[in-house]
Amino acid sequence: MELRKRLRQAAVADKYSFHMPGHKGRFPALFGNYDTTEIPGLDNLHCPEDVLCRAQERVAGIYQAARTYFLVNGSSVGIMSAITALTRAGDGVLAARNCHKSVLAGLIHSGAMPVWIEQTLCPRLRHWLPPSPAAVKELIAKHAIKAAIFTNPDYYGLTPDIAALAQVCREAGIAVIVDEAHGAHLQWGQAIGLPQSAVAAAGCDVIVQSPHKTLPALTQAAWMHITDLALGEKLQETLNLFHTTSPSYLLLSSLEYAACWANSHGAAMLRRLKILADMLYLRCKQLNLDFPATLPYRDWTKFLLPNRRGLEGLLRSQGMFPELIQGDKVLFMLTMADALVPQGIAALYRLLPLIAALPARPEEEILPPPLPKQEISPREAWARPGKKVPIAKAKGQISRQVLAPYPPGTMVVAPGQRLEQEHIDYLHKLHARKVIPQWLEVI
């Protein structure tokens, strides 16, 4: 059994986890002998009336949501369902250009037309800054918009002013969906400088979170909160369309566990984590290793280091696995599990001087061009026959495919966008860095 063998090897090598899942293997109670699905005595995820219903209500109570739905296919299924439930073919949907690929899946299903929000690049992080309320207001004035989807926070911890964005949309009668896949923990961090969760910001209708990323829940376990019960039936119906008919009770019970555990211990754990993280940030400053910790609206649990030559090997030699090493950045995810068992952070702290001594890794900066023009809806493009062409031959053509390299699954090209020379040049550079393949499917 090669897969099992490989898993065993990976578990031994991965001594200090700085990546998802948020439990980091520190919660054995999650892995009991409970792998079952909907047998008598349990409940029905598609129409919960018994134990699942009560567990969902418990979590809704903890987050002060009108209703919470458990998800067994990550935030991805929640985002797809929310877009599909709230929009129809031809409706305008506001979305940031660096949205997660599940937004595209939702748009393809619903037939809605994306209105992309251009974003500015952060000069230090070289990553997209979150959309501003002013930019959103301007687009709303120009386009007929039915719904908006915002990410809060993104993969690197950057957050928009979600309350202000929601207010702008609310004034225009636009439904607000929030991809808070990376924000299930924010609830307990208000007092220690974590950004605001959309659940607490007035005007957000649907908030999708992945506790498996930041809380002690099993991989893929996620939930979706709504703030207005009037949306309940439509969302349940759409989720039922997308969800597996064999939901894992291991995943479902881990959701109840994560919420209840975080409700009891989350605030204290995050306070402890903040002390540990502050030590890391301070040491980095002393060593001139600090990345953009000073950016406003950033979730400090996403700890970033500048990439150095030999850094990956050094981390591996210590059994240390970050969430992402890409270009000039290395991302470490700190979670409540690191506060519970702080050996990983201590090991990283001890390693910082060695990391600082590694040679810099000069790299040509790849600046993304303005977004390609959205000529037709993602669904229209998806429905057309496509042909695979080398990147160079895609000039002037309309993309059929979603180009969203993983990790982190952030959109680069959407179906229905026409690619001009500047986009081709950009894609060539990404290919040279092995971020994307050499081929592209166009219509």
Tell me the residue nearest to ligand PLP as measured from the CB: 74
Q: Which of residues 262-281 bind ligand PLP (CB under 6 A)?
A: none
Interface residue with ligand PLP among 133, 327, 386, 409 (CB under 6 A) is: 409
Listed ranges 47-55, 178-186, 301-309, 392-400: which one lies at the site for ligand PLP (CB under 6 A) = 178-186
Q: Which long-range contacts (CB under 8 A, 24 or more apart) does 108-112 make?
A: 108/378, 108/379, 108/382, 108/415, 109/80, 109/83, 109/84, 109/379, 110/83, 110/84, 110/379, 111/377, 111/379, 111/380, 112/83, 112/87, 112/88, 112/146, 112/147, 112/377
**What burial letters (b/e) apply to 322-333, b meaning 16+ CB within 10 Å?**
bbbbebbbbbbb
**Residue span 83-102 as binding mask against ligand PLP, x where in contact by CB under 6 A, dash where not:** -----------------x-x
Q: What count of other Cβ atoms lies within 10 Å of the Cβ of residue 104?
A: 27
* Shortest Å, Cβ 295 to ligand PLP: 17
* Shortest Å, Cβ 40 to ligand PLP: 30
* Shortest Å, Cβ 104 to ligand PLP: 12
181 binds ligand PLP (CB under 6 A): yes
Listed ranges 57-65, 73-81, 273-281, 369-377: which one lies at the site for ligand PLP (CB under 6 A) = 73-81
Q: Which is nearer to ligand PLP, 102 or 197 (CB)?
A: 102
What sign does the dihedral 79-81-86-88 (CA atoms) show? positive
d(CA 331, CA 324): 5
Listed ranges 47-55, 69-77, 225-233, 252-260: which one lies at the site for ligand PLP (CB under 6 A) = 69-77
Amino acid at 78: G
Are residues 187 and 266 in contact, defined by beta-carbon separation less than 8 angstroms?
Answer: yes
Interface residue with ligand PLP among 17, 75, 152, 253 (CB under 6 A) is: 75
Whole-angstrom CA distances from 128 to 122, 166, 233 are 6, 20, 35
Q: Which is nearer to ligand PLP, 95 or 289 (CB)?
A: 95
* Shortest Å, Cβ 363 to ligand PLP: 23
Interface residue with ligand PLP among 222, 255, 402, 413 (CB under 6 A) is: 222
**What burial letters (b/e) apply to 278-310, b meaning 16+ CB within 10 Å?**
eebbebbeeeebbbbbebebbbbbbbbbbbbee
Q: Which is nearer to ligand PLP, 179 or 256 (CB)?
A: 179
Q: Which of residues 410-439 bind ligand PLP (CB under 6 A)?
A: none
Amino acid at 248: S
**Residue span 100-119 as binding mask against ligand PLP, x where in contact by CB under 6 A, dash where not:** x-x-----------------
Interface residue with ligand PLP among 21, 22, 48, 74 (CB under 6 A) is: 74
150 binds ligand PLP (CB under 6 A): no
374 binds ligand PLP (CB under 6 A): no
Give the burial class of 108: count Cβ atoms within 10 A of its Cβ; 0-12 exposed, 13-18 middle, 19 or more buried: buried
What sign does the dihedral 242-236-160-164 (CA atoms) show? positive
Which are the contacts of 44, defined by CB distance < 8 A and separation ≥ 6?
Answer: 38, 52
* Shortest Å, Cβ 218 to ligand PLP: 11
d(CA 10, CA 324): 16
Interface residue with ligand PLP among 70, 155, 257, 321 (CB under 6 A) is: 155
223 binds ligand PLP (CB under 6 A): no
Write out the residues near ligand PLP by the rule CB under 6 A.
74-76, 100, 102, 151, 154-155, 179, 181-182, 210, 222, 408-409
